[in-house]
């Protein structure tokens, strides 16, 4: 490859700062993504600059959207691994999403139970006197809580 064609190829590539700007992701996060194997620079210069393909913008945005949907970086890595194997990652996404829905339903139930406990607790404690600041207990309301 000639010097001009190498320069032209590098002009099409993005430095890590440019990728960060295009995706609105911090450079430190991109470095971490690289460290755990989510993204891989297409090349590094002699001065250690990382260069990424423009298509990595799509990949980083996928990671960002996946995180916003509650997928962990480990789960995202599993999804991307399917893609690297030449398989459609969509069945893996569905499987993980189904599992997430079950987890969310469990958490919602736990939160509803906690809300009921706190509400009952507040109603019961309204008739009691406040704790005495000289008492060894901090607040009898919490001491009596059944959690």
At 89, give phi and psi (nearest 5°): -80, -5
At 123, give phi and psi (nearest 5°): -60, -45
Per-residue pLDDT tens for 33-53?
A: 999 999 998 887 777 788 999
> If you average pLDDT over residues 113-121, what whole number do you get?
89
DSSP classification of residue 44: E
Q: How many CA atoms lie within 13 A of 140 on its CB side?
A: 12
Percentage with pLDDT > 70 across the chain: 82
Domains by residue range for the chain, with CATH: 1-74 (1.10.1660.10)
Residue with the larger pLDDT of the pair 140 and 81: 81
Of 46-60, 105-119, 132-146, minimum mean pLDDT range: 132-146
Please give the sequence-ordered ranges of beta strands (E in DSSP) within the chain, or none if there are none: 14-15, 43-44, 50-52
Per-residue pLDDT tens for 7-40?
A: 444 568 999 999 999 999 999 999 999 999 999 9
Q: How many CA atoms lie within 13 A of 64 on its CB side?
A: 14
6 pLDDT above the threshold of 50: no
Burial class (CB in 10 A: 0-12, 13-18, 19+), 56: buried
């Amino acid at each position: 490859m000639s010097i001009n064609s190498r320069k032209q190829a590098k002009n099409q590539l993005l430095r890590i700062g440019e990728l960060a700007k295009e995706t609105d992701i911090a450079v430190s996060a991109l470095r971490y993504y690289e460290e755990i194997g989510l993204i891989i620079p297409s090349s590094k210069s002699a001065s250690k600059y990382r260069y990424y393909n423009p298509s990595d913008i799509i990949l980083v945005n996928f990671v960002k959207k996946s995180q916003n949907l509650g997928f962990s970086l480990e789960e995202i890595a599993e999804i991307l691994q399917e893609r690297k194997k030449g398989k459609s990652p969509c069945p893996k996404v569905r499987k993980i999403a189904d599992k997430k829905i079950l987890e969310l339903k469990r958490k919602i139930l736990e939160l509803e139970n906690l809300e009921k406990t706190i509400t009952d607790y507040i109603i019961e404690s309204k008739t009691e006197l406040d704790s005495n600041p000289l008492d060894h207990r901090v607040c009898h309301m919490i001491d009596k809580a059944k959690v």
